[in-house]
Amino acid sequence: AFVVFNLLGGESLAQTLFIPKEIDEPRVGGSPETVKKLTALGFAVVVEAGAGVASRIPDSEFVAAGAAIGRAGDIARADVVLKVRRPSSAELKAYRKGAVVIAMLDPYGNDAAVKALADAGVTAFTMEFMPRITRAQVMDVLSSQANLAGYQAVIDAASEYDRALPMMMTAAGTVPAAKVFIMGVGVAGLQAIATARRLGAVVTATDVRPAVKEQVASLGAKFLAVEDEEFKAAETAGGYAKEMSKEYQAKQAALVADHIAKQDIVITTALIPGRPAPRLVTRQMVARMRPGSVLIDLAVERGGNVEGAVAGKITEVDGVKIVGHLNVAGRIAATASQLYAKNLLAFVETLVDKESKTVKIDFDDELVKATVLTHGGKVVHPNFASAATAAPAPAASVAKPAAVKKAAPAKPAATKPAPAAKAATAKAAPGKAAAPKAKTAAKTAAAQPAAAPSPKTAPKTTEGEA
């Protein structure tokens, strides 16, 4: 054991990094590859027994990488905790005061849970708020997870669709290619396009941002939108979508309704930071689809883009299946954990002093400013600091939106992350403006702004683009 100084001052034993087993979540915050590198950074890595089993990582692989296998109670001595989901109030009771907790904390609309983090005395970082800058690309959890969600959405659609996707010319006749429509061209949408094309489907896609038209074409799909003057000005300088007028929305809805009626598979990916998911597909649209058609709603956890979608269930309306799987990236947990663990490792590396091999947080660093949620017993993120003072006891999450009045943080200056522009009613979470080449579709732009939405945005968000 070596001696380090913890974040709140004072001497402590060997700096311990703990990777717990998630509750109701198949992903894990570490991999054998990242454990090896975390050990090299100076951490004594402890992985809870069975933490990686659902991600196809047995304890023996963590041990071979240099980790120790521990129990849930070992978290009490951890200096750093790497998680996938926000710890519950019950879990936080075991955390050491002053510990660094890094996870996808999903703070919007969960004021009491945020206050619980502050009351526990932990320094909590929420990975969804990572700013969209070059040095942070490798830390972009929204991009890595939404990319996989887009892929899995097509696989799920193919599984539910009881016909072949590619065109087949056989002696017995020709099988026509399935028609797939992707609504929202962020990271998930682009990967869905690429995957559906690889499976031989005829693919179309829509989005309100003009810049993505080229991206869609580069992947071999056709772009669908009302391309009037308003559409041409529908994107901010930062690559985000502007909210469209009701007149434009009506025209776009009419175009989409006619198009959906001819599709075999529709995949919706629209999640707007700080808002419930926009309704893109109505019951009337579903009623016009052919029996056997499939709709995949990647936004079902926030209300859904498809009317009639039920979170966690597959429903059928007049022969049309509406798929509402939860945690779609977690459905391929082995791959999702691999990428997520690398996102966490990259961020942890920025917090470690290379000479002393200890955690030394620079609260003036733009990554820290954007992502730090609580520190020193207080909620320090400006989007949540004022709400925390009025939050009730942290026994349960609060459905009521967080107050959005900007307040100065009580400890380190956690400045406001890059703001997200308002998104249109019928769009996916924004992606980068740069047009990716078809062969690199899997490395497309971020699914939604990694930084937190501005305080002007009605709070209620989720982890990925979809």
Which is the catalytic residue, given 74, 79, 106, 140?
140
Active site residue 161: no
Show pLDDT as tens, one digit a residue, over the chain (466 residues): 333 344 444 444 459 999 999 999 999 999 999 999 999 999 999 999 999 999 999 999 999 999 999 999 999 999 999 999 999 999 999 999 999 999 999 998 899 999 999 999 999 999 999 998 999 999 999 999 999 999 999 999 999 999 999 999 999 999 999 999 999 999 999 999 999 999 999 999 999 888 899 999 999 999 998 887 777 766 655 455 566 678 887 888 889 999 999 999 999 999 876 678 889 999 999 999 999 999 999 999 989 999 999 999 999 999 999 999 999 999 999 999 999 999 999 999 999 998 889 999 999 999 999 999 999 999 999 988 876 665 554 444 333 334 433 444 444 444 444 433 333 333 333 333 333 333 344 344 333 333 333 333 333 333 334 4
What dihedral do alpha carbons 434, 437, 442, 444 form, nearest 10°? Answer: 0
pLDDT at 389: 60
Q: In whole angstroms, give the CA distance from residue 164 to residue 170.
A: 13
- Global pTM value: 0.79
Active site residue 207: no
Q: In whole angstroms, give the CA distance from residue 83 to residue 103.
A: 5
Three-state secondary structure call for residue 45 = strand
The CA R_g of the chain, rounded to the nearest whole Å, is 23
Q: How far is CA 412 from the centre of its chain?
A: 26
Which is the catalytic residue, given 137, 145, 252, 293?
137
Active site residue 89: no
Answer whether 143's CB lies under 8 Å from 446's CB: yes
pLDDT at 271: 82
pLDDT at 460: 35
- Owner of token pair 């997520």: 340
CA atoms within 13 A on the CB side of 129: 31
- Owner of token pair 């308002």: 422
Answer whether 99's CB lies under 8 Å from 8's CB: no
Active site residue 108: no
Q: In whole angstroms, give the CA distance from residue 208 to residue 249.
A: 10
Which is the catalytic residue, given 89, 143, 218, 454?
143
pLDDT at 239: 53
Answer whether 140's CB lies under 8 Å from 400's CB: no
Amino acid (one-letter) located at 224: L
pLDDT at 390: 56
Which H/E stretch holds residue 144? helix 141-160
Structural domains for the chain: 16-138+332-379 (3.40.50.720), 149-331 (3.40.50.720)
Which is the catalytic residue, given 151, 161, 240, 340?
240
Which is the catalytic residue, given 85, 86, 96, 132?
132
- Provide φ and ψ at 343, rounded to 5°: -60, -45
- Owner of token pair 């071999």: 220
Amino acid (one-letter) located at 153: A
Answer whether 28's CB lies under 8 Å from 118's CB: no
Active site residue 137: yes
Tally Cβ neighbours within 10 Å of residue 21: 18
- CA angle, 406 then 409 then 414, to 5°: 95
Amino acid (one-letter) located at 140: D
pLDDT at 201: 98
